[in-house]
Amino acid sequence: MVIQNRYPQYIKLSKTIKFLSELDDYELAYFAKFKLDTYLPETQYEIKRYLIQRNLNNHRIDELIKVNPKKKSTKNRLRCTRCSSDKIRVEKVAWTDTSDKIGYADEIAVLDGLGGKETFREQIICNVCEFWIKDPNNEKSKKSIWHHIGDFIFTLFSH
């Protein structure tokens, strides 16, 4: 039974390392700088071991980010505005942030929503550095003061 619980973690880790092996050093540097901390500690440990195998320490990561030659690329591919990678995730998501919008398409979406019909927009996220290129629902925007107060209260009572 315990082996079955560990097996999916192994598969996930294999997919993570496989993904990392497809990155060039510049992309891997951005991944390490901006996305590594989003993983569970056990996975972070394995990723850090992989970074060592690729000779990427903190100094080298900072240097690679500073001189990233992809920033000058003019190919007609959709690229991340932070790391210039073309490893982009495009998803259709239900558009829920329609309040206080002005424009014909926005008004139609609001009216459709009142009628129970969903409007979809593209959400575009970089797979390398997790930068949100297009965020139709403003999910990555700054939290209001009330969200911070709620987070603080939740933290107090959860310990």
Q: Is residue 118 one of the residues assigned to a domain?
A: yes
> Are residues 132 and 92 part of one domain?
yes
Measure the CA–CA gap between 66 and 91, rounded to whole angstroms.
Answer: 30
Cβ-based neighbours of 30, under 8 Å, separated by 6 or more: 65, 68, 82, 83, 85, 128, 129
Cut 0.75: pTM above it: no
Q: Could you tell me how far CA 132 lies from the centroid of its own chain? A: 6
> Are residues 92 and 52 part of one domain?
no
Q: Which domain holds residue 22?
A: 2-67
pLDDT single digits (tens) 86-128: 999 988 887 775 555 555 555 555 555 556 677 778 889 999 9
